[in-house]
Structure 1
Amino acid sequence: MITSSANGKVKQVMNLIKKAKARNESGLFVAEGLRIFKEIPRDQIDSIFVSESFLKEEERKHLIDGMKYEVLTDEVFQVMSDTKTPQGILALVKQHAYIPEDLIRVPGPAFLMILENIQDPGNLGTIIRAGEGAGITGVLMNSTTADIYNPKVIRSTMGSVFRVPFAYTDDLTASILQLKKKGIKLYAAHLDGRNNYEKEDYTVDTGFLIGNEANGLTEDTAGLADAYIKIPMMGSVESLNAAVAASVLMFETARQRRG
């Protein structure tokens, strides 16, 4: 049993929680909590940590039957945890490597979310989770978008991160141009949009460009869109949160494709 927060394994977990560099170098990330643990593909689990209290509850203990795990005192688990009310289980998970081409190697028409400089972990996680619900085929992000392996992102995806393909690109412009060459029609939600978003046809290969929460898309990236679309607003609201706007567009696409 691990009884000290100075233990090397505890320090490793805390480092992975706090530092993207540590996650990148190790190829591991932290997934904490009962719900997310149940979603992890078993072949991606590197190691498991549980608290003493966790093992006292039989309905929880069965989740790790036949698996190797480290037991920590409740106090040490509390120190190590990234949540206010730890549920007593945490795993180190192997990162899954995708490349941009994986996002369009799918049966049926492609359906992509292309993110530029999304900074809020909650927004990124919400886009991935809502995207799974809407049937997206992948998420492409520029390198300055939030780290998808940030624990806050992982939690907010509610497990979708294990099922939705995603990739980062160091050159978003070049990656977008490659998508256009493959016949994917790209839309940017923009105040200068010609049509309301529901007037376009998303049943073909489609991608949506979503920009930074405060500043939107850069001019260069917006300029690569095949069309600007707008989400009409009532009252004094000018625009929506990035994750909300993305969800509106994703579920309109899902509606059209069901039809």
Structure 2
Amino acid sequence: MITSTANPRIKRLAGLQKKRRMREEEQVFLTEGLRMFREAPPEMLRELYVSESFAKKEKELICRKEQEARIQAEILADHVFSHVSDTKTPQGVLCVMARRKEPSAEEMFDLQTGGKPPLLMVLDNLQDPGNLGTILRTGEGAGVTGVVMSSDCVDLYNPKTVRSTMGSVYRVPCRREDDMERFLHKMKEAGIRIYAAHLKGTADYDEEDYTGGSAFLIGNEGNGLKEETARMADTYIRIPMEGEVESLNAAIAATILMFEAGRQRRRK
């Protein structure tokens, strides 16, 4: 059992929590909590750390996951676990996970769910970890086949982003794209129609047909889509609203669009 916060392994874990560069160098990310632990794919699980109190309560669960992943859990004194945790009330279990291999652009265009054509979310300079995580989670529920992020988006593996995905980070194919304009050109060539959620939209979102290959562009929380990204859209769509509300939170707007697409595909 590790009982000191000065232990080199503890210092490394604290660094992985705080530093994106360290996570990228090791190609890992951290997850915390019982749900994320239960859903962790064994083939992605690299290291497992549990608090002393958690180890006493969940012996059977820990043993099962150790056998599945073929690793040995490391027990930390409760105060040491609190030191490396990113949450105010730690549940006592932390996993170091290997990242999934990013799909190529062409693989993103070919992704299908249940035989249905691709349904992609393209995120342009999204900055809020909670918004990104929520889009992954609701996207999985709506049948989205993949998420593409511009290079200036918030880190997918930020602990707050990972936590807000509630496990979807393990399953939803994601790709970070350095040249978004080139990527969108390829998307059009692949026959995927691009829709931009935009204040200049003239078509109501529920009047369009998303049963074919479709992609939604979602912009920055404060400034919306960059002009060079927005102009790549085939159609500008809008979510009609009452009162004096001009726009919605990025994750909420994305959720409305994704579930409308999902509804149309179920009916077809």
TM-score, normalised to structure 2, is: 0.94
Does the alignment pair 1:63 with 2:68?
no
Match of 1:87 in 2: 91
Following TM superposition, by how much is the alpha carbon of 1:101 offset from its aligned partner in structure 2, in angstroms?
A: 2.5
The separation in 1 between residues aligned to 2:158 and 2:40, in whole angstroms, is: 16
Following TM superposition, by how much is the alpha carbon of 1:236 offset from its aligned partner in structure 2, in angstroms?
A: 1.1
Match of 2:105 in 1: 100
Following TM superposition, by how much is the alpha carbon of 1:235 offset from its aligned partner in structure 2, in angstroms?
A: 1.0
1:162-199 Cα shifts (integer Å, max 9, x gaps): 11100001111111111011010000011211210000
- Paired residue for 1:171, among 167, 176, 179? 179
Does the alignment pair 1:123 with 2:127?
no
Specify the SS of the correspondent of 1:234: coil
Unpaired runs of 5+ residues, structure 1, are none
Q: Tell me if structure 1 keeps the 8 A contact 2:30–2:96.
A: yes
Following TM superposition, by how much is the alpha carbon of 1:104 offset from its aligned partner in structure 2, in angstroms?
A: 2.4
Following TM superposition, by how much is the alpha carbon of 1:44 offset from its aligned partner in structure 2, in angstroms?
A: 0.6
Specify the SS of the correspondent of 1:192: coil
Mean Cα deviation higher: 34-43 or 103-112: 103-112
What is the letter of the counterpart of residue 215 of structure 1? N
The separation in 1 between residues aligned to 2:110 and 2:54, in whole angstroms, is: 41
Match of 1:184 in 2: 192
Match of 1:21 in 2: 21
Unpaired runs of 5+ residues, structure 2, are 67-71
Following TM superposition, by how much is the alpha carbon of 1:15 offset from its aligned partner in structure 2, in angstroms?
A: 0.7
The separation in 2 between residues aligned to 1:148 and 1:75, in whole angstroms, is: 28
Following TM superposition, by how much is the alpha carbon of 1:6 offset from its aligned partner in structure 2, in angstroms?
A: 1.0
Match of 2:80 in 1: 76
The separation in 2 between residues aligned to 1:214 and 1:15, in whole angstroms, is: 30
The separation in 2 between residues aligned to 1:100 and 1:89, in whole angstroms, is: 35
Following TM superposition, by how much is the alpha carbon of 1:61 offset from its aligned partner in structure 2, in angstroms?
A: 2.3
1:195-234 Cα shifts (integer Å, max 9, x gaps): 1000000000000000000000011110000000000011
1:136-156 Cα shifts (integer Å, max 9, x gaps): 010011111011111111110
Specify the SS of the correspondent of 2:155: coil
The separation in 2 between residues aligned to 1:35 and 1:102, in whole angstroms, is: 29
Match of 1:44 in 2: 44
Q: Tell me if structure 2 keeps the 8 A contact 1:50–1:71.
A: yes
Q: Tell me if structure 1 keeps the 8 A contact 2:109–2:190.
A: no
Q: Percent identity?
A: 53
What is the letter of the counterpart of residue 190 of structure 2? K
Q: Tell me if structure 1 keeps the 8 A contact 2:17–2:84.
A: no
1:34-62 Cα shifts (integer Å, max 9, x gaps): 011111100111100001100121xx222
Specify the SS of the correspondent of 1:96: coil
The separation in 1 between residues aligned to 2:40 and 2:7, in whole angstroms, is: 25
RMSD value, Cα: 0.9
Following TM superposition, by how much is the alpha carbon of 1:64 offset from its aligned partner in structure 2, in angstroms?
A: 1.4
The separation in 2 between residues aligned to 1:137 and 1:2, in whole angstroms, is: 41
Counterparts of 1:228-239 in structure 2, within 5 Å, are: 228-239=236-247
TM-score, normalised to structure 1, is: 0.97
Counterparts of 1:199-210 in structure 2, within 5 Å, are: 199-210=207-218
1:105-143 Cα shifts (integer Å, max 9, x gaps): 234311000000000000000000000000001001111
Match of 1:34 in 2: 34
Q: Tell me if structure 2 keeps the 8 A contact 1:100–1:166.
A: no
Q: Tell me if structure 2 keeps the 8 A contact 1:189–1:210.
A: yes
The separation in 2 between residues aligned to 1:61 and 1:129, in whole angstroms, is: 29
